[in-house]
Amino acid sequence: MIVKLLGTAAGGGFPQWNCACPGCRFARTEAGQAHSRTQNGAAVSCDGQTWYLINAAPDISAQIEAEPSLQPGPAIRSSPIAGVMLTDAELDHTIGLLSLREGGTLNVYVTAPVADALTESFPIRPMLEPYAASRWHEMTPGEPFALFGGQLTVTPFVLGCKAPRYAYASSRNGDAASNSAWVIGLRLKDEATGGVVIYAPCVEAWTPELDSRLADADCILIDGTFWRADELTRLGISELDAHAMGHIPISGGGGSLERLAAFPAARKIWIHINNTNPIADPTSAEHSIVLNHGFEIGSDGMVLEV
């Protein structure tokens, strides 16, 4: 299995167009430009020829152009991209579907609440119908499905029930809706090699379910949105802390830095890194802390083979 990180920033990218936080100011310097990030997304393949995207960021066109294996050919209008798996319905993970509208048949994998949101609240699905023969497949948490002729087994699992802002009203219409699988992670297992990758860009809370999924992983790609819970409030950007925004921070009691130490995965990599998170600056103390623990900070273009 090959996993390529197309983008490793949280929504808005790094730098974010309307932000002058210390991280974004660094990213705009000559030294910092080499560390810029596009919005979160990945691609997975078992043969290096056909690829499935994980999320479709607004930056998807630039991400495809930056990755030769995803570029079109050999026919004049053909693409190695066979489908997209969405881990939630957030704008920064779905807007890119509109940029893929010129393609042929595209398989889109979503959970039930995400399908509803992209049909009604943010109607990408009906908008795409006149342009491309998309096939929508429902993912059910805990129920595996096969890709690449059975070589890749994908098992979605629940990471949270926080709906995107545009769908708040519909998500609160009854307990069933508000407790739905709005946010999922993906367990990717290569049946030929036995390798297991966990892709979990947005972790709302650390649960026994997450513990069980990480237990036998060879590589963990996990939510690195915020370094500390009060990151945004300290900067005066928001009144909400990390938990209220649907993310467990890296540092602090019960943070992911502490929790990940218990798992045997050979590689533990943070992705979905917010522009305010100091680990995005390679000169920061926080960046060094992560590396000194033997963990990694994901970067655009990183390639993993498992």
Domain span at residue 134? 2-305
Q: How sure is the predictor about 174, in pLDDT bands with cuts at 50, 70 and 90?
A: very low
How much is the pTM? 0.95
**Does residue 172 have a pLDDT over 90?**
no
Phi (first) and psi of residue 301, to 5 degrees:
90, -5
Q: Is the dihedral of CA 169, 138, 270, 5 positive or negative?
A: negative
Q: End-to-end CA distance of the chain, in Å?
A: 5
Gap between the Cα atoms of 146 and 152, Å rounded: 6
Sheet of 107-110: strand order equals 135-138, 107-110, 81-85, 51-54, 41-45, 2-7, 303-305
Indicate which CATH number applies to the domain containing 10.
3.60.15.10
pLDDT above 50 (res 229): yes
pLDDT at site 67: 97
Report angle CA 250, 288, 185 to the nearest 5 degrees: 35
- With 60 as the cut, is the pLDDT of residue 173 above it? no
Cα-based distances in Å from 38 to 73, 225, 242:
24, 14, 21
| CA proximity to 245, closest of 163, 141, 156 | 163
Token pair in block for residue 242:
């990390």
pLDDT above 50: residue 257: yes
pLDDT band at 29 (very low <50, low <70, confident <90, very high): very high
66 phi/psi in degrees, rounded to 5: -85, -10
Q: Among positive and negative, which fits the CA dihedral 91, 69, 36, 287? A: positive
Q: What is d(CA 269, CA 263) in angstroms, rounded to the nearest whole number?
A: 13
| pLDDT recorded at residue 176 | 42
Domain count along the chain = 1
Residue 57: closest CA among 95, 85, 8: 95
